[in-house]
Amino acid sequence: MKDLFELGGKFFNSRLLTGTGKYSTDEIIPQVTSASESQIITVALRRVDFDSPYRSVMDYIPPNIQLLPNTSGARDAKEAIKIAQISRASGHGNFIKIEVISDNKYLLPNGYETLKATEELSKDGFIVLPYVNADLYLGRSLKDAGAAAIMPLGSPIGSNRGIRCMEMIRVLVELIDLPIIVDAGIGKPSDAAVVMEMGVDACLVNTAIASSPNPILMASAFKDAVISGRNAYLAGLGCRSSIAVASSPLTGFLNG
C-alpha cells in the first residue's frame, strides 16, 4: 500500500513542500520544482502582480502543482482574511497558508491572530494551514477551529538554524490528530530528515534551497532527505544504548 500524504482531502506522493521566494531569478523555479518533486508550492500573494505586462511568479509554477498561497505581509487576522479572499477570488483555489507576523526582527507568528483567521476562513470553505509556534493548546484550538494541518516553525524564518523546537514539535506529533508540517528553520537536508524520522508528516523548505549556490541540486537533496526520513520513520529506528554493542559476536577469531 502506498504511503500517501493526505492534505485537505487530496493525496500527494511528495511530503516536501517548496516555496518561490529568494531565488536570484524566478526562471529557475520550474527546474527546482522538478528536482524537488514537490507537489505543493507556497507563494506570497503580494508577489503576484495581477496587472503586470511582465511575467508573474505564477507563470513559473508548473501545472498540476497544488498552489498554497500564503498571507505573508499580514499583521493581523483581518489582513490575513482579506488576502485569502483576494487569493481565492483571483482563481488561486481554496488552500491558504496563514502567516500573521507583526514582529519585524524574528518574524515570529502571532498565534492568537492566526487562530482567529483560521476559524473564520475554515468556516468560509478554505483549506487552512496555519503557521505557528509549536504549542499544544494552540494546536488543539486550531484543530477545533477547522485547520487542515498545523505548520510549526523549526526556528525563525530564513535563519537556516535548524530545528530548535524539537521537543514541542514532538508533542504536537503525538497529541494532535492533524498533519504536522514543519515550516521555517530547516537549513540542511539533514534537518528535514530529523523531523521526518520523528514522525512529522511533511516539511516546507524555501530559503535553504533558494540560497544554495546550486538550488536545483539542493532541491534534489531535500527531496531525498524527506523520503529518507519518512522511510526511517515507517521502518522504525533501533534503540540507542549507552554501551557499545559489537556488530558481530566477540568470540575471538584466532583463538576461538
Residues in 107-146 that interact with its own copies by CB under 8 A: 107-108, 110-112, 133, 135-138, 141
254: number of Cβ within 10 Å: 4
Q: Consult the annotation and say whether 207 binds a ligand.
A: yes
The H or E element that residue 168 is part of is: helix 166-175
Q: Can residue 250 be called a binding residue for its own copies (CB under 8 A)?
A: yes
Kindly tell me the sign of the dihedral angle through the C-alpha atoms of 196, 199, 201, 205.
negative
C-alpha cell at 8: 485537505
Q: Which is nearer to its own copies, 64 or 237 (CB)?
A: 237
Q: Which of 40, 35, 38, 37 lies closest to 10 in space, CA to CA?
A: 40
Is 1 near its own copies (CB under 8 A)?
Answer: no
Full DSSP string of 111-132: HHHHHHHHHHHHHTT-EEEEEE
Given 97, 105, 116, 223, the catalytic residue: 97
- H/E stretch holding 136 reads helix 136-144
Nearer to its own copies, 9 or 105 (CB): 105
Q: Is 185 annotated as a binding residue?
A: yes
Residue 32 contacts residue 19 (beta carbons within 8 Å): no
149 labelled binding-site residue: no
Bridge partners, residue 97, by sequence = 70, 129
143 is catalytic: no
| Residue 254 touching its own copies (CB under 8 A) | yes
> Which of 9, 236 has the CB closer to its own copies?
236
214 annotated as belonging to a binding site for a ligand: no
Give the footprint of its own copies on residues 14-43 (CB under 8 A).
Answer: 19, 21-22
Residue 143 CB, nearest approach to its own copies (Å): 14
Cβ proximity to its own copies: between 9 and 31 the closer is 31
- Minimum separation from the CB atom of position 101 to its own copies (A): 9
46, 59, 90, 123: which one binds its own copies (CB under 8 A): 46
CA 64 to chain centre: 19
Q: Which of 226, 153, 151 is nearest to 188 (CA)?
A: 226
Q: Binding marks (x or -) toward its own copies, 63..102, rule CB under 8 A?
A: --------xxxxx---x--xx------------------x
Query: Any idea which residue has 487576522 for its cell?
Result: 77
Site residues (CB under 8 A) for its own copies, limited to 178-217: 187-191, 193-194, 197, 206-208, 210-217
Please tell me the distance from the alpha carbon of residue 110 to that of residue 175, in angstroms, as a whole number.
22
8 Å CB contact between 12 and 41:
no
Q: Binding site, residues?
A: 158, 184-185, 206-207
Residues with catalytic function: 97
Binding site feature residues for 1-deoxy-D-xylulose 5-phosphate: 158, 184-185, 206-207
